[in-house]
Structure 1
Amino acid sequence: MRVIELLTSRLPPKWRERVREYLVLMRMDRPVGALLLLWPTWWGLWAAAKDFPPIGLLVIFTLGVFVMRAAGCVINDYADHGWLDANVERTRGRPMAAGRVSRKEALLLFAGLLALAFVLVLFTNTLTIQLSFAGAALAAIYPFTKRWTHLAQVVLGAAFGWSIPMAFAAVTGEVPALGWLLFLANVLFSTIYDTEYAMVDRAEDIRVGAKSTAILFGDADRPIIGVLMATFLLAMLFVGQRLDLAWPYWLGLATSAGLFGWQQWLIRGRGRAECFAAFRNNNAVGCVLWLGLMLALAVA
C-alpha cells in the first residue's frame, strides 16, 4: 500500500482516489499472488531454454505475469462482488464489493489489461500467440467456475500454469512432453495452495453457496493435500530427471518437501490465520524450485 500511495501521490487529486481503487482492484497491494504465477513461468522459461532464457522473452513473460494476474483479479472480483465477496468478512472491503468501482469500470479495465497482454505476446511467435487465446479464456472462465463445480482450484491451476506451454512455444517453437509435464505439475501446485487459501473462508463459502476443493475434501483435506504435495514433488522429480539436472535442483526439491511439511503442521488445526500462512508459504516453495533449477542449469 505504501508503494501505491507513492505512485498515486503525484497524480491530480481528482484522479488519485480513482487510480488507487483500480490498483487495489488489480491486487497491486498484494504481490504474493503474482509471485505464485511468476515462479512457474520462470520454471518453464529456464527448462525450455536449458539455460538462461533469451532476455527479450524473459522481459515479455515477466511483464505478462503481472498484467494477466491483474486481469484475473479484476474479472474475479467482477464475478464475485455481489453474491460472494460482499458476504465474506475478509473480502467485503474490496473495491467492487464495497461499491467503489462499478461493473462497467471493471470490464473496461479487464479488457484493457487483456489488450496489453496481447500486445506483449505479439512480440513472440505464431504458436505462442495461438496458445495465448486459450490462456485468456481460462483466466476469464475461472472466476465463474466456483458457482457450479468444487474443482475451481484445478481450473485456476490450468489458468496459472498456461504460461508454461506458452514459454516452451516461445523459446523452442513447440511444446514437448516436458512442457506438459511441468504444466500438470503446476496444476497440482496451484490446487495445493488455493485449497489452503479456500480453507480460510470455508465456513462462509458454505453459507453463501460457493464451491471449492476445501469444501469438497471436508475433513479429509489435510491427507488429500498431502497426496497432492507428494504427487507434485514426484512430477518435479521427473522434470529433474528428464533435464538431467545437477545437485542444486535436488537440494531445492528437498527444501520444497520440507516447506510442505511445515505447511501441514500449520494447517493441522485448520485455523484461518494458519491456513493463510500456509498459502503464503508456497511463494517460498516456488522460489526455491526456480533457484534450484536455475543454478543446476548454470553449473551443468
Structure 2
Amino acid sequence: MSLSHGTVSDADRGNWVDHFAPQWLRPYARLARWDRPIGWRLLLLPCWWAAALASNVAGSTLPNIGHLILFLIGAVAMRGAGCTYNDIVDRELDAGVARTRSRPIPSGQVSVRNAKIFLVLQALAGLAVLLCFNWFSVALGVASLAVVAAYPFMKRITDWPQFVLGLAFSWGALIGWSAVFGSLSLAPLLLYAGSVLWTIGYDTIYALQDIEDDKIMGVRSTARLFGDRAPQMVGLLYAGSTLFWAGALVAAGVGWIAWLGLALLAAHLAWQVATVRLDDDALALRLFKSNWPAGLVFFAGLVLDGLV
C-alpha cells in the first residue's frame, strides 16, 4: 500500500493495520503505533522480566499469568497513549523529518482535537489495567506519568532525551515486582537501572536513522552527541546494563538457567555493537527490533529457572 493511502513510512510492510483494520480505525491505529508493535514489546519486556524474577523470589513455579496478560494490555495502551501524546507535541517537528512527516497528525489523517480524545481513551484503558494491582503499584504507576509527560520536550533541551525515555520505558521493572510484593527492594531497582541503560543504547541505534534530519530541525539526541563514537558508547551502555541485571540476579538469588538467559542476551547485545554501522539506516532499524526476541530469551531463562 502506498503512502498516498495513509501508510506511515517506517511501518512494517504488510502490517495488519494497513490490510485488515477498518478504514475509520487505520489513522488512529497508526497514531498508536499498532502497525509498529516493537514499541509496546520493548515497553513490555521489563514488566515481564520483573514479574518472572519476583515469582522466583516468592517461590512460585510460574509468574502470575493474569499479571502477564494485564502487563501486555497495559503496554499496548500506554505505548499508544505515549505515542499519541508525543505526536501531538511534536507535530511541527515531525512535519520536517522525512521518516515522520507521513504520521497521522502532520499528514492530516487525524486532527489534533481527535488525537487528544484518542489519547484520553487510551490513558483510561491503561488506568483500568493499573487499578487491577495493589495500591502501592497504582501509586507507582501514577508517578511514572511525570516522566512520560516530560519526555517529548527533552529533545529540545538536552542531548540525552534517550535517558528520559529509558526512565519511562523501564518503569515496568518496578511495577512487575511491586505487583507481587506490594513494595520494592534492591533486585527490581537494579533491574530498572539496567533497563534504563539498555533503552538508551537501543534508542541511540534507532536514532541513527534521523541524524541528518535532526541536525536540520535542531532535534537533539545521543546519536548526534556520540557521533562517530556511537558504537563504542552503545557498547558501554550495554555493558553497564548487563552488570546491573547481573546484580539483580545476585540480589534475587536465582539459579543457573536465569544466568544462562542473561548470558545469551548479553551476547546478542555484543553482536549488535559489533554489527551496527553509522551509514546504514535499514540495519539500524533491524538491530533495534532485534531486542524483542533477545529480551524474550532472558524472560524464558527466568521462567524456566522458576520451573526448575
What TM-score results when the alignment is normalised by the length of structure 1? 0.92
Find 2:117's aligned residue among 108, 112, 118: 108
Aligned with 1:26 (options 25, 32, 36): 32
Measured in 1, the distance between the counterparts of 2:254 and 2:176 equals: 19
Correspondence for 2:220: 211
Bigger drift between 44-53 and 287-296 goes to 44-53
Letter in 2 for 1:80: D
Q: How does 1:121-200 map to 2 (within 5 A)?
A: 121-200=130-209
Between the two proteins, the alignment pairs up a number of residues equal to 291
The structure 2 residue matched to 1:67, chosen from 77, 99, 118, is: 77
2:64 equivalent in structure 1 = 54
Structure 1, gaps ≥5 residues long: 9-15
Aligned pairs for 1:208-287 within 5 A:
208-287=217-296
RMSD: 1.6
Q: Cα–Cα, structure 1 residues 269 and 218, in superposed 2: closer, same or farther, change >3 Å?
A: closer
What is the rounded CA distance, in whole Å, between the counterparts of 1:184 and 1:255 in structure 2? Answer: 19
Which stretches in structure 2 are left out of the alignment for 5+ residues?
1-13
CA distance in 1, matches of 2:195, 2:180: 19
Q: Percent identity?
A: 36
The whole-number CA distance in structure 2 between the counterparts of 1:23 and 1:268 is 32
Query: Does the 8 Å CA contact 2:187/2:247 hold for their aligned counterparts?
Result: no
- CA–CA distance in structure 2, aligned partners of residues 283 and 205 of structure 1: 26
CA distance in 2, matches of 1:156, 1:190: 7
- For 2:285 and 2:70, how far apart are their aligned partners in 1? 31
CA distance in 1, matches of 2:279, 2:49: 31
Give the Cα separation in 2 of the matches to 1:254 and 1:130: 34
Q: How much does 1:261 deviate?
A: 2.5
Q: Look up the match of 2:3.
A: none
Change (3 A) 1:2 1:192: closer
What residue number does 1:43 align with? 49
Q: Determine if the alignment matches structure 1 residue 3 to structure 2 residue 13.
A: no
- TM superposition score normalised by structure 2: 0.89
Q: Distance in 2 between matches of 1:249 and 1:169?
A: 20
* 8 Å CA contact 1:266, 1:277 repeated in 2: no
Amino acid at match of 2:117: L
Cα drift, residue 7 of structure 1: 5.0
Q: Deviations over 1:40-82 (max 9, x none)?
A: 1100111122242223322222211111111111111112121
CA distance in 1, matches of 2:140, 2:20: 34
Aligned-partner residue type, residue 51 of structure 2: L
Residue matched to 1:81: 91
Residues 226, 233 of structure 2: 8 Å contact kept: yes
Residues 189-244 of structure 1: CA distance to partner in whole angstroms, max 9, x if unpaired?
11011110111111110110011111111222111111111111111111222222
Deviation at 1:2, TM superposition (A): 4.7
Deviation at 1:137, TM superposition (A): 2.5
Q: Residue 17 of structure 1 aligns with which residue?
A: 23
Contact 1:150 1:211 in 2 (8 A): yes
Q: Tell me the amino acid that sits aligned with residue 145 of structure 1.
A: M
Letter in 1 for 2:262: L
Partner Cα separation in structure 2 for residue 297 and residue 278 of structure 1: 30
